[in-house]
Structure 1
Amino acid sequence: MIAKVAVVVLVMVGVALAAQRDSYTAPQQQSGYKQDGMPYNFQYGVKDDYSGTDFGHNEVSDGNTVRGSYTVQLPDGRKQTVTYVADHYNGYQAQVDYYGEAQYPHKYGPPVTFKPQSYGHPQPSYQPQPSYQPQPSYQPQPSYQPQPSYPPQPSYS
């Protein structure tokens, strides 16, 4: 009889511990779940001769593999181009190339600064006048009466 009670108690403790552990664990995610990639392509470029800015990027994907390159004009005069391929099996693989010779002048000129430009609204050269002359519809009256000053001054007449 005692053995049966001990077995029942052990089973109940085991069930309680198992139920408690399951309530705190996160649901298992399927490790094989994978969303199919979506094909895309894009490209942009910026070139501003005034400030010396010159860079661009293009990228193409078939949904599984991404191929692209980006370029930037470096401050030393060289152009850097990075060509890359990325996928889920081989990771990101890049090749970096430099074009041109690095230039390091002995003298540096003044820093490149840009004057702020005003983009305000221009004022017209004439001032429009209203076509009517507005007249006040009331005559304002003072709302107080001056009081004599105290003490009254004696009059000597």
Structure 2
Amino acid sequence: MGFKVIALAALVVVALARPENLPPYGYGGTTPSSGPAKYDFNYAVNDPPSGNDFGHQEARDGPNTQGSYYVLLPDGRLQKVTYTVNGDSGYVADVTYEGEAQYPTAPPRPYTPAPYHA
């Protein structure tokens, strides 16, 4: 009998401790701050001493997005990607390369054995 009273008391405590005002789950109505996305941005970095040359630009109006980005690859080519996203069509990209890939030959390094400690 004692166990039933303790179990009933614990159940009452748990029920009373439950918050009354739980937030609704799911998506609510559209508010001015949660309306369709509309933005436009771009950036670029060109630092010849470090070899960094890359950039990105994108514009979105509701479900339609278009943009491009580029990067100077280690082999000397410039990779450009132009993309669009129209509604539920998904990400559609066009990738192009400018220049010829160059692989300079590195001078051979002499073999140096790792130190051995006995």
TM-score by length of 2: 0.60
Q: 1:38 to 1:100 in 2, by over 3 A?
A: same
Tell which deviates more after alignment, 80-89 or 42-51.
80-89
Shift of 1:29: 4.6
- Structure number with the bigger relative contact order (C-alpha 8 A, sep ≥ 6) is 2
User: Aligned residue pairs: how many?
Assistant: 80
Residue number in structure 1 paired with 2:82: 83
The structure with the larger Rg is 1
Q: Extract unaligned runs of 5+ from structure 1.
A: 1-26, 109-157
2:99 corresponding residue in structure 1: 100
Structure 1 or 2: more strand by fraction: 2
Q: Secondary structure at the match of 2:88?
A: coil
Percent identity between matched residues is: 49
Q: Quote the Cα distance in structure 1 between the aligned partners of 2:26 and 2:51.
A: 51
In structure 2, the CA distance between the partners of 1:29 and 1:107, relative to structure 1 (3 Å rule), is closer
Q: Specify the alignment match of 1:72 in structure 2.
A: 71
Indicate the residue corresponding to 1:47 in structure 2: 46
Distance 1:106 1:46 in 2: 28
- Counterpart-to-counterpart distance in 1, 2:94 and 2:36: 24
Deviation at 1:87, TM superposition (A): 3.1
Mapping for residues 1-12 of structure 1, pairs under 5 Å: none
| Letter paired with 1:43 | N
Q: CA deviation at 1:64?
A: 1.9
Classify the secondary structure of the residue corresponding to 2:85.
Answer: strand
Structure 2: runs of 5 or more not aligned: 1-23, 108-118
Pick which of 63-72 and 83-92 moved more.
83-92
1:11-62, CA deviations, whole angstroms, 9 ceiling, x for partnerless residues?
Answer: xxxxxxxxxxxxxxxx8857xx776422110000001011110000000111
* Distance in 1, Cα, partners of 2:26 & 2:87: 19
One-letter amino acid of the structure 1 residue matched with residue 68 of structure 2: S
Tell me the secondary structure at the aligned position of residue 37 of structure 1: coil
Cα distance in 2 for partners of 1:73, 1:65 equals: 28
Aligned to 2:59: 60
